[in-house]
Chains A and B, each alone.
Chain A
Amino acid sequence: GAGVSQSPSNKVTEKGKDVELRCDPISGHTALYWYRQSLGQGLEFLIYFQGNSAPDKSGLPSDRFSAERTGGSVSTLTIQRTQQEDSAVYLCASSLGWGGLDTQYFGPGTRLTVL
């Protein structure tokens, strides 16, 4: 079946601009996660959605970052007033959401470059 998809695959923007990154999770997955991967680094947790519960935003690095998930499916990560240090690959993952210990499946990521 279809996996997690993300768009755009690449985004180049100017410092100070806002960007929106989109994630389409696997159908039927109730849990959705955003991570950030800087060059040569591991993945850094950003935010987690589970069903209708309030999202866990504990990983968002600043108030310039926000995310929403509409209808329990598609999610959008928004970065306002982008800075050069925001340049990274933004990865989305989804999971069935059973009991909190289930496998996360990742999308291909969006590579964001802030000039």
Chain B
Amino acid sequence: GESVGLHLPTLSVQEGDNSIINCAYSNSASDYFIWYKQESGKGPQFIIDIRSNMDKRQGQRVTVLLNKTVKHLSLQIAATQPGDSAVYFCAETPTGANSKLTFGKGITLSVRP
């Protein structure tokens, strides 16, 4: 698999490979983190979330890792499929901030057949 920070706008992976999308956040008060997937012409779709009292959470083919020490969040997609092609956003919110989310700029995942 390949990994890239949000400062690089596009990640291209081969179908079947694992994908790793990274996100750095700056607000140390943030304690709830979410990954969204956005397909062309659609609204963001919730993928997986994690709270700050955890460092790893797994879903179906996806895993989110949280490293609070370095304020880093990553999304791992196993066996990437063409349907995974989309823009991925990380989002964060601190406790008590009425769930107002701060989004990263997003990265495009392109899956090569």
A residues near B, CB below 8 A?
Answer: 4, 31, 33, 35, 40-45, 48, 50, 56, 58-59, 91, 93, 95, 97, 100-109
How many chain B residues sit at the interface, stated as a range, is 20 to 34
Q: Evaluate whether A100 and B96 lie within 8 angstroms (CB atoms) in the complex, with A43-B89, A91-B44 already known.
A: yes
Q: How far is the CB of B59 from the nearest CB of chain A, in Å?
A: 13
Of chain B, the residue at the smallest CB distance from A53 is B98
* Interface contact A108-B41, CB-CB below 8 Å: yes
> Quick check: A100 and B97 within 8 Å, CB to CB?
yes
Given A100-B97, A101-B32, A103-B49: A42 touches B103 (CB 8 Å cut-off): yes
Are the CB atoms of B100 and A45 closer together than 8 Å?
A: yes
**Cβ distance A95 to chain B, nearest Cβ, rounded Å:** 6
Shortest 7 CB-CB contacts between residues of A and residues of B: A106-B43, A42-B103, A43-B103, A42-B105, A106-B44, A101-B32, A108-B43
Chain B residue at minimum C-beta to C-beta distance from A97: B99
